[in-house]
Amino acid sequence: MRVRTVAAAAAVAALTVVTSACSSQAGGDTGAAAEEVTVGAILSMSGVYATLGPAQKNAIELGLDALNEEGFEVDGTHHTLAFTYADDKSDPATTGVAALRQMVQSDELPLIAFGLGSSTYAPQLERTPVPMVNILDSTYPSILDYSDNIVLMRGASETYTIGCVDWATETLDASRLSVIDTKGEPYGEGLTKLIETQGADAGLDVTVTSAPLGSADYGSAIAGALESDPDVVYLSSVTGVILPVLKQLRQAGYSGPVMHSAGVNPQQAEAILGEGFDELMADNYDCAGTTPATAENEAARAFAEAYQAKYDEMPQDLTMWAYDLPFVVAAAMTEAGSTTDRAAILDALGTIEVPEGTVSGWLPSGDGALFTDRNARTLSEVTQWCTGAASIATATVFDGLGGEIADAKVTDDPCGAAG
């Protein structure tokens, strides 16, 4: 049976009022007093991953506004949802663990959302189980191996890195690819393993060079990468790491195609690269989840307009999943018949269908469940940087389940098509 929140109006209609509600508001036109239930979110609001946390929080708050316009029912009682936030300072092992303990043991919250840190949180979950919903961390090998209490709201890395490999071989006609890796950064190290494996399977000659996380000078790694005369260079890490490397790579004289899986938006490119960012980003391709602003999904585009209007920033793929998080939590509590029973809520996450009001264009399992083996999934894409427009355009959208390209929709001249 489809799990529905009371906020079952079309997502586009819900998004027209996201700026007028507040997360503690009682439900819409019901006239009934609503009980507020609070859950936690541990996000990287500062530090090396600070390109992720603020955007996630912004999108969660928009999702809360939309959900709480009408609220949701749990065992006959009307509820609204609220989040309490903690900044892990890009350091889950210390700051993040302390926040998790506070939320789970002292605050007794029924569910925790988070961005990064699965391996460090898993031992805590063995001692005190609580459902943890990861918005973002598709690190390879899968974070789902760490704990049965973790669910993931996005496709694994292999579902989108294959887009870079396919684009490099089929569109850019590449035969040699160099990876510049960041030692000590789990997401980047996982991407490197996948590009090596998927690239070799596709017939690419792949070489890897690296520098430690926190390095200011990637000169040696860049020189090593360019020794093989690559047709394409792939940068393995998150936005805050790869963009400074890109700048140094261009300064070293490399003018060819650059690929990554960081989900860079134009505002981040300008803020991190500074003057001349448009030229530095030329011939640049990003393989990640679909971008809301260019999605075929009408609800995703409506969300993108609302997000851009409120925060003056193009939303990334992670913002869609973060926006949908409140609806997923509400649906699980409705299905569980409880706002406090952690085990029941975790079980319900495994059975709910795609909740009404979500915008991400979820790809449900064969039986209609949102999560398959605790993993939700959306389409992936390759975006191309468009110089002059100083922005991105969608080059291809595909289903990357199983690390293979399926149902690909390719746009001829993406920048021209984007206007």
DSSP string, 11-52: HHHHHTTTTT--TT---TTT-S--EEEEEEEEE--SSTTTTT
Is the confidence at residue 8, as pLDDT, over 50? no
Amino acid making up residue 364: P
**Other beta carbons within 10 Å of 296:** 12
- Spatial CA neighbour of 139 closest among 88, 96, 190, 173: 190
Question: What value does the mean pLDDT of the chain take?
Answer: 93
Is the confidence at residue 12, as pLDDT, over 60? no
Is the confidence at residue 3, as pLDDT, over 50? no
pLDDT confidence band for 419 (50 / 70 / 90): confident
- Above pLDDT 70, what percent of the chain? 92
The Cα–Cα gap between 185 and 45 comes to: 17
Specify the higher pLDDT residue, 14 or 254: 254
The string of pLDDT tens digits covering residues 86-141 is 999 999 999 999 999 999 999 999 999 999 999 999 999 999 999 999 999 999 99
* Average pLDDT of span 19-23: 37
Is the confidence at residue 26, as pLDDT, over 90? no
The string of pLDDT tens digits covering residues 58-91 is 999 999 999 999 999 999 999 999 999 999 999 9
Angle at 243 between CA 164 and CA 271, to 5 degrees: 130
- Whether the CB-CB separation of 380 and 290 falls below 8 Å is answered with yes
pLDDT confidence band for 157 (50 / 70 / 90): very high
- Quick one: pLDDT at residue 30? 44
pLDDT confidence band for 418 (50 / 70 / 90): confident
- Quick one: pLDDT at residue 24? 35
pLDDT confidence band for 15 (50 / 70 / 90): low
Pairing relationship of beta strands 205-212 and 176-183 according to DSSP bridges: parallel
pLDDT confidence band for 33 (50 / 70 / 90): confident
For tokens 């980003």, what's the residue? 281
Is the confidence at residue 214, as pLDDT, over 50? yes
pTM for this one? 0.93
- Quick one: pLDDT at residue 111? 99
pLDDT confidence band for 32 (50 / 70 / 90): low
- Whether the CB-CB separation of 352 and 332 falls below 8 Å is answered with yes
Domains, the chain, in order of start with CATH, read: 11-155+295-349 (3.40.50.2300), 158-290+379-417 (3.40.50.2300)
